[in-house]
Every structure is written in structure tokens, then in C-alpha cells.
Amino acid sequence: MKIGRKISGGKYKKARKKKKFERKGQERKVKVGETKTKIMGVRGGNEKTVSLLQNKINLISKGKASVVEIKRVLETPSNRFLARQNILTKGAIVETDLGKAKITNRPSQEGNVQGILVE
């Protein structure tokens, strides 16, 4: 039988449409560039700061934290085409002044970029 149909051939009808909080949000791709953030309203009347462009990373190496400039994206394990476009995602390897760093947070969901130094 066709998917989405009853055994008799009739269609299944949805009980209701998705509510606003159930809908998918707009996809954001954080690129390397002069820092640009946006404040968004989220569920419960709260606010969330999201990144649109970032050029600095909060880098942790040997227990010390430092803010370093991002030069470019070297590789992205999830999708190699994202690295070509200099898009920052969780798990991406970026080139910094101190060396290679791995992004440990989700820049599209937060207003900053966190990472650890990779030897």
C-alpha cells in the first residue's frame, strides 16, 4: 500500500497543525567575519543571543583561557563543503594565532565561539 494511506485507500488526516514552539527555527550559518550578533525572543519570554558572524574564539589550552582571532576554517567533519565557505559549526577545526583549535560549542545557538587547542 501507499505510505500515508489506510488499508482501504483512504487518507489519514492530521489532528492539528504544529504550534509555533514545535516548528523548526530559521537556519543560521555562522561565518568568519567581523563579530555580528542578534538578540532573539524565545519561548517563555526569554532572550537568546545568536551569532551571525564571528572572528574571535574563547580558547582553552593547558587550563588557561584566552581570546584569539580566527583566521579560517580548515575542516568540518560533518560536511566538507561548510569548511570551504568558512562556516563555523560544532566540531569544526579552525586556524588561529596559537595553532589549530576545535570548536566545542554551537555558535549558531550562542553568541560566542568556544574551543580547545588541538596539538
Judge contact between 95 and 76, C-beta under 8 A. Answer: no
Tell me if 95 is assigned to some domain: yes
Tell me if 13 is assigned to some domain: no
Tell me if 4 is assigned to some domain: no
Q: Determine if the pTM surpasses 0.85.
A: no
Tell me if 16 is assigned to some domain: no
Give me the domain span that covers residue 84: 27-117
Cell digits of residue 34: 567581523
Q: pLDDT tens digits, the chain, 119 residues: what are they? A: 577 888 898 998 889 999 988 888 888 899 999 999 999 888 889 999 999 999 999 999 888 999 999 999 999 999 989 999 999 999 999 999 999 999 999 999 889 999 999 97
Residue 67's CATH number: 3.10.290.70
Tell me if 102 is assigned to some domain: yes
Q: How many domains does the chain have?
A: 1
